[in-house]
């Protein structure tokens, strides 16, 4: 089962909840117990290390490698 992000309309808090994608309606907020949850659009990030733990290669396009702008050493 995937983890989805929800926003509770009652307590105005965001939560990550493990639910089936088709059966999430009626899921209770872990903070207040309300069923007035709104599914949020989630964005995921992935990173892969190069050989011997080197930073991933970057195409030179800003933010293309996920490392640009983070202050972490990487190569273009």
Q: Which residues of 9-46 are buried (b: 16+ CB within 10 A; e: fewer)?
A: eeeeeebebebeeeeeeebebeeeeeeebeeeeeeeee
* Residues spanned by the domain of 22: 3-39
Q: Across residues 3-8, what is the average pLDDT? A: 88
DSSP codes of every residue in 56-67: PB--SSTTSSS-
44 within domain boundaries: no
Q: What is the pLDDT of residues 9-26, one digit of tens each?
A: 999 999 988 888 777 888
pTM over 0.85: no
Does some domain include residue 15?
yes
pLDDT in tens, 65-75: 666 666 677 66
Whether 25 is in a domain gets the answer yes
d(CA 51, CA 49): 7
Predicted confidence (pLDDT) per residue in 37-63, tens digit: 998 876 665 555 444 555 555 555 655
Q: Number of structural domains, the chain?
A: 1
Residues 6+ away with beta carbon under 8 Å from 69: 62, 63
């Amino acid at each position: 089962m995937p983890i989805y992000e929800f926003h509770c309309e009652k307590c105005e808090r965001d939560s990550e909840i493990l639910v089936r994608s088709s059966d999430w309606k009626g899921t209770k907020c872990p903070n207040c117990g309300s069923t007035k949850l709104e599914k949020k659009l989630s964005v995921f990030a992935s990173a892969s290390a190069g050989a011997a733990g080197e930073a991933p290669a970057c195409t030179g396009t800003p933010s293309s490698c996920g490392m640009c702008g983070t202050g972490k050493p990487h190569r273009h």
